Each structure stands twice: as structure tokens, then as C-alpha cells.
Structure 1
């Protein structure tokens, strides 16, 4: 049986987009003694979900991920050329990589593509620890708690500079929680290649557009098929029945739509 600490940590890892603070409040209420031991779980969650933070004196957010970690619990951002400790203590930092020119070109091309396709997103381009590949990351969050839903799009691509091949995964996580709980978490693996950073980014955009179109078709099918079958059909009048007034209905005219006999 899993320990209480492991169980509580799993709650953090499974928190829906934009709802980590709600989960933490639940943990404080149910297992207050375990909150102090959750730092590793928070770190893992932030890195896996590509959490974003704003550095002091900057209006732009930066990514946190396993691909831009440094020693001592620090991270670095390729765009601002700074390292940071979560959202504080920012310092100048230039990644030590032989692929610096490719990183700069990808940053420029990916910036334009992200702006075109996502209303709100953050991205990063980072050389991996071995410097054998380049990680291209993107996260786009849309939170609408007033309408009881939150969503997150995450893209992870690894470019092999020796042959310009790219492997990647696109992940979408959406949670709808008005009078219930419906969560969709799906992913798509993709492969592509390109002769230049510009072409690679175009292929990435093409793959993401294709995945979004597939999701749109799936949602349409669910709405007209499975979800529709779960709902109680309206009467032929297309009006909801006011059950508290049911005794006063004239069956044929008011409910059936025909004339009372």
C-alpha cells in the first residue's frame, strides 16, 4: 500500500490545469502534516506541466522544465539569456552549446509561429544535457474558472541537428467541472524533418494544425453521438417540462404539441 506521502504527492501530479492551488487547499484540509513534504512533488509537477513564472523586472513569463534545469535548483531561459531560481534571483546565463546558431534561429522562427497560432503561449528552445539534441517546448494555457473549465496545450519536440529529424509529442488536457467532472487528457506523437529551422517550424505548425482538426472532429462526433445519447431528449415542443406544474398540463396540447381531445 502506498504511503500517505506518496498518495498526497499523487494528488499534486494529477492536478488539472490551473487548479493546483485548489488541490493544495484540499491537502491542507485533509492531510496538513504532509504539506511540508510536497516540495519534490511541486518541482516535478512544474517541470512536467511547463509551468511559467515572471522574473523580477520582466513582463514576459519564462518556462520551467526538465530541459532547462541547472545545478542548485536553478533554470535558464534562452530568450532572455538569464538563469533563475523559480521566480527570483535572476542572473545572466549563456548556454554552453555548439548549436547556439540553430537555437537562435529556432527561437526567432518559433516565436512567429507561436504568436500566429496561439492567443497566449510561452515557448523555449534548449540544448539538452548531452548537447546531442535541441528541445523545443511550448505551453499554452486557457483558464476560465467563471465558466467552470480550464485547459492546457503542451508541445515537446527533440531536434537531432545531425540530420534535422524531429520527434515530438503534443499533449492536451482540459477539465470541465460544472455540476460534475469531465476531463479529457490526450496526446499525439509526431515525426518530421526539415532542411532549415524555418522549415522545421513550418512542419511543426502543420502537425499541430492537423492534430487540432482531428480533435475538432472528435468533439463534434461526441457531441452529436455519445454525449447526445446521454442526455434526456426534450419533448417535441423543444421546451423543458416544468415538473412542478405537471398536474396542470393538458397532455395532448401542452406536452405533445397536438390538440387536446
Structure 2
């Protein structure tokens, strides 16, 4: 029984949503060959591409600006249009065009080409919460610059009562067959003081194999939101920093234990002879020759 185009596109969408960091273009090109119907593929996977880009906190650089902006659902203001709270502009982002550009063009150049094709528009911020957003933005930028080697941060005010912080740090090393991403989102309800955080880590090693690390951790607490922005901002960023430190330490401890104990438990400490193999003399053994003669 042959697979319908609709089923192929659905399978292709699932593959795209599971793409490792920095490899969505490669996955797209692979599923494009498998589906072998560009029109159906482009119509069917647009939603998956948008979901992937916003969940993975893809970044873009707007014309005439020297910093990157995160494409996030917190910053979506209308269909395909997202906001840069810092410059108070909105831009239209073409999720499909991103993957259709030639792979030989650098990703940052692709993003700039996409944005330049779309008209920028001024965006009016929520006046009542904008001073707090700007104060958190300034402190969050300083924190990210200090703690994330390639970190990008965007601070939003989606509503008059909510602040959202998005942080992403990518490390692409395809020459050595690995890529990785750390991403985090934090939301603050200024009415209740409820602060929620969600951090995800994805690392992909694919030299002579295919190994992925996928880890995530959620956190909730309450902070005091007052008219004194300095105290509120300091409290929020302290919670973020403390959580990152605990989670980072936990990850290090877990994988240190994995290497020292778990992996060792998966193999014999000694062969059945109870004698260690002298690998330096392995060439002197004639087992291979004997086996080939039998």
C-alpha cells in the first residue's frame, strides 16, 4: 500500500520538529527528496516550521541594528509578524524562505536577506509596563553577556501584566560533528508575582553514530513586585541566576556519574579469563589468523 502525499508531509513535519540544533535545513532537504512534491511539502510544513523556529528561539538581525532578536511566540503580534521590543519595531518573518535558501549562504546573511525583504513597522509598547520591561531588559542583557558565550536575550511585554524573558545560546561545530543549544523562557505575572521558568538543552553528536542529549527543567516561584523597579529586577534576575547555577551543577553531576559509574556497569571489568587484555601486544595475537583459517 503506497503512502499518500498527506501522510508523507505529516511524517516530514514530525522529522522537522525533531531537528537537532542548526540542522533543520539538512533535515528539510532530506525530507524534500523523500516527499518529492515541493508544492505539497511547502503548503503542509509551514506550520511545523513556524512551531520549530519559535520553540527553538531562532534569532534574526534587523536592518541597521547590531544585535540579534529572538523570534518567539511571546513576541508574535500578528500572522508572521514579530516584535523587537528594544527598537520598538515589528517585522515580518518568512519561516519557509529560511530553509529554502542555498546552504552555502551563511545563516546570518540569510536572516538579514529575509528581513530586508519585509517592511519594518513601528510597534507601540504597553505604556504602563514598559519602564519595568526596560529595567529587566538591561539587567538581563548584562547577565546573559556575563554567563552565555554566544547568548542572545529578548525581553517582551506581551500584555500589560506580563514580562517574558527569552534566552538562547547556540554552539554549532559541524566540523567536529556536534551541535548544541541551551534555551530558556521566563514569565513574570506582575499582578500575582508568579515567576515561571522553563529551560531546555539539546546536544547532538553524530560522528560515526547518532547520539542526542535532550534535557529540560521547569521552575516556579513567587517574587514581590513593587513600584521600586530596582528591587523587583534584582529579585527576578537573582532567581534566574540561582536556578541556572543549580541546574548547571545538576547536569554536570549527573553526567559525571554517568561516565564514572553507569557506563562502567554496562561492560565487564575483566574478560572471562579474569585477566586484563594487553592491548599493546594485540598485534602479536594470532586469533584473527586462526579464525580466518577455520
Distance 1:240 1:170, change over 3 A: farther
User: Are the counterparts in 2 of residues 134 and 160 from structure 1 also a CA contact under 8 Å?
Assistant: yes
Distance 1:229 1:144, change over 3 A: farther
User: Are the counterparts in 2 of residues 78 and 94 from structure 1 also a CA contact under 8 Å?
Assistant: no
**Equivalence for 1:181:** 210
Distance 1:137 1:117 in 2: 14
Aligned residue among 221, 230, 253 for 1:217: 253
Distance 2:154 2:80 in 1: 18
Distance 1:147 1:242, change over 3 A: farther
Q: Are 1:165 and 2:194 an aligned pair?
A: yes
Structure 1: state its 5+ residue gaps: 250-261
Q: Are 1:247 and 2:276 an aligned pair?
A: no
Count the aligned residue pairs: 247
User: Are the counterparts in 2 of residues 158 and 166 from structure 1 also a CA contact under 8 Å?
Assistant: yes
Q: Normalization by structure 2: what TM-score?
A: 0.76
User: Are the counterparts in 2 of residues 149 and 176 from structure 1 also a CA contact under 8 Å?
Assistant: yes
Provide, for residues 81-130 of structure 1, a one-character-per-residue CA deviation record: whole Å limited to 9, x for no partner. 221112333333232352111100100110111111101111111122x4
Distance 2:281 2:266 in 1: 18
| Secondary structure of residue in 2 paired with 1:95 | coil
Q: Normalization by structure 1: what TM-score?
A: 0.86
> In terms of mean alpha carbon deviation, does 88-97 or 59-68 score higher?
88-97
User: Are the counterparts in 2 of residues 175 and 183 from structure 1 also a CA contact under 8 Å?
Assistant: yes
Q: Are 1:132 and 2:154 an aligned pair?
A: no
> In terms of mean alpha carbon deviation, does 222-231 or 177-186 score higher?
222-231
User: Are the counterparts in 2 of residues 171 and 185 from structure 1 also a CA contact under 8 Å?
Assistant: yes
